[in-house]
Amino acid sequence: MGCRRAAQTYRSLAWRADRLASLTSPSGYLNLVGLFWLEPGVTTFGGDADNDLVFPGADAGRMGTFEFGEDGVTMSVADGVDVRIDDAIVTSVFMPDDTREDNLTATYGTLAWTVINRQGMVGVRLFDYENPVAANLPPIPQYDIDERWRIPAVLRLYDEPRIANVGTVIEGLGYHPEMPGVVEFEIDGETHTLEAYASSNNRLFFVFGDRTSGRETYPAGRFLYADAPGEDGMTMLDFNMAYNPPCAFNDFATCPVASPRNRLPVEVTAGEKYIDALHVGVSDH
């Protein structure tokens, strides 16, 4: 038992290290510095304030335009502006959104951007690979790793998968993943359920709240993944790996929030906590 517990503790510590490395990587959410929703037609972008989209930190006043039409987004770059894709200078290029495998990332100096599509809302997501926020992130407070928060759960399948209708932090934008069913589990002898969302690699994804939400943890809820259930429907909910959503760190994410159905009537004292110092708002960029 002691060896197994030590191995599980090591797994949780390794997950925390990987989580921090992902957050602070060049493409991590800490390096997000902008999210701009596009309207049909032509939109200018660049460093000057008279652009439709102002890219913070860009030293080129007018970098180019985005033209958003029925087929998607085409980026045209102004003469003499060194915008690259895959290290090749571009002047005009169609930019598939992130729902497609051929999604592109454009760069200019330390800035990088890509086109995203969220339920038909199309925008430009901007990163700064040298954003000081990543280097200055305060320690993320955590509950102590506790074996009792590794909880066996069984997936109860719906007769047919359903489509969720969940709110997000973006007004008017919903989150509509497929739901195969609910997981059922016990905490202190009481049975609880959470709606499970289908995710990549056959894993289950959860957005949940609990009675620590808004007090010790992020108000909108936390994220958690679980391995695909076995043939018996069993999986493990390791709440020690519950974590803050990207919107806990800045205003440029499109996170789903915990639905009323997925707010547990107990305190889940495991995983990441939240403090206001973790969040960098629009005015701080």
pLDDT value at residue 113 = 97
Mind giving me the DSSP string for the chain?
A: -HHHHHHHHHHHHHHHHHHHHHHHSTTSGGGEEEEEEPPSEEEEEESSTTSSEE-TT---S--EEEEEETTEEEEEE-TT---EETTEE-SEEEE--TTSTT--EEEETTEEEEEEEETTEEEEEEEETT-HHHHTPPPPPBPPP-GGGEEEEEEEEEEEEEE--EEBSSTT-EE--EEEEEEEEEETTEEEEEEEEE-GGG-EEEEEB-TTBTTTB-TT-EEEEEPPP-TTSEEEEEGGG-B--GGGTBSS---B---GGGB-SS----SB---GGG-B-GGG-
Tell me the pLDDT tens digit for each residue of 18-44. Answer: 999 999 888 889 999 999 999 999 999
CA separation for the pair 283, 285 (Å, rounded) = 6
Tell me the pLDDT tens digit for each residue of 140-177. Answer: 999 999 999 999 999 999 999 999 999 999 988 999 99
Q: List, in sequence order, the alpha helices (H) in the chain.
A: 2-24, 132-135
Minimum mean pLDDT among 8-17, 101-110, 118-127: which range?
Answer: 8-17
* pLDDT higher than 80, residue 268: yes
Provide the mean pLDDT of the chain: 93
pLDDT > 90: percent of the chain: 86
Tell me the pLDDT tens digit for each residue of 55-80. Answer: 998 999 999 999 999 999 999 999 99
Tell me the pLDDT tens digit for each residue of 86-111. Answer: 999 999 999 999 999 999 999 999 99
Minimum mean pLDDT among 89-98, 170-179, 217-226, 234-243: which range?
Answer: 170-179
* pLDDT higher than 90, residue 202: no
Backbone angles phi, psi at 89, to 5 degrees: -65, 135
CA separation for the pair 236, 154 (Å, rounded) = 8
- Beta carbons of 95 and 105 less than 8 angstroms apart: no
Tell me the pLDDT tens digit for each residue of 169-192. Answer: 998 899 999 999 999 999 999 999
From the options 2.40.110.10, 3.40.50.620, 2.60.200.20, 3.40.50.1110, give the CATH code of 29-135: 2.60.200.20
Q: Tell me the domain boundaries of the chain.
A: 29-135, 138-284
Average pLDDT score over residue span 216-243: 97
**pTM confidence score:** 0.90
pLDDT value at residue 285 = 45
